Amino acid sequence: MKSPLAIALTAAAAVLAVAFAMPLLHMVRGVASTPADGLPWQVQRHGEAIEVFGLRLPGSTLADAQARWGDGLQLAVVAERGQGGALEAYVDSFDGGGIGGRLVLATGLSAAAVGKLRDNAVRSEALGASALRYTLRSDDRAEALRSGITGLSFIPSARLDGAALQQRFGPPGERLKLGRTQVHWLYPALGLAIVVDSQGKDLLQYAAPAEFESRLRAPLLAAGATP
């Protein structure tokens, strides 16, 4: 089974994706069973920051995420054998108003800090043939929780519908195509990139508006995306 980080990286390598299908019927009808700050389409702009899922980019930390999801927030270092790795933070069973999926949180933790977490790990376990997942010591976990969140990726369990997406977010500022199956909807003012993939995982990615170009749009263009 692939780790949440591996899934998110795979989607982002094909670069970005989103989804929520049958639940989109509830979106269209305006049905919501969770607080207003906990739904994937409720993105609020606050100057140079955005707020979504009850977290602010920039500004919130993993500790804020833990306060919101408790033990549902999983932390570990995941690394390919012989490589430094990355801190993996995710909520595996996110439920937002009937929209289920996986929420992956990116941080600005330095490579040196990640290496320290890995070297101090309580244990490691194999993930497939080439990767390892390192369980953090309790004091290292407390240190990791102080890390600032730099991006969010939401991988819905259901598929997306373009009409419902446009009703919730409005028309995108730009659409880019990548390969045969992906269409990327870009909303720079919201720090949001949506990828609808007809044959793979869909994905919603969020970043601070000031970092939208470098984190979300530029990688698409580098991968060959076209209007």
User: Which residues contact residue 1 at a Cβ distance below 8 angstroms, ignoring those fewer than 6 apart?
Assistant: none
217 belongs to a structural domain: yes
Q: What are phi and psi of 196, to 5 degrees?
A: -105, 115
Whole-structure pTM value: 0.81
Predicted confidence (pLDDT) per residue in 175-214, tens digit: 999 999 999 999 999 999 999 998 888 999 999 999 999 9
pLDDT at 3: 52
Region 42-60: mean pLDDT is 96
Closest CA to 86 of 154, 4, 146: 4
On whether residue 85 sits in a domain, the answer given is no
Yes or no: say if 134 and 124 are a contact pair by the CB < 8 Å rule. yes
pLDDT the model gives residue 99 = 78
Instruction: Judge whether 159 lies within some domain.
Output: yes
Structural domain contains residue 112: no
Domain count for the chain, please give it.
Answer: 1
User: pLDDT value at position 70?
Assistant: 95
How many of the other CB atoms lie within 10 Å of CB of 21? Answer: 15
Any domain includes 165: yes
- Mean per-residue pLDDT, 46-56: 96
pLDDT, position 22? 29
Confidence (pLDDT) at 97: 66
CA distance 70 to 50: 22
203 is a domain residue: yes
- Which structural domain range is residue 63 located in? 4-71+93-105+148-222
Task: Dump pLDDT digits (tens) for 130-174.
Answer: 999 999 999 999 999 999 999 999 999 888 888 888 999 999 999
Res 187: pLDDT: 98
Has residue 81 been placed in a domain? Answer: no
Cα–Cα distance, 48 to 117 (Å, whole number)? 31
Domain-located, residue 131:
no
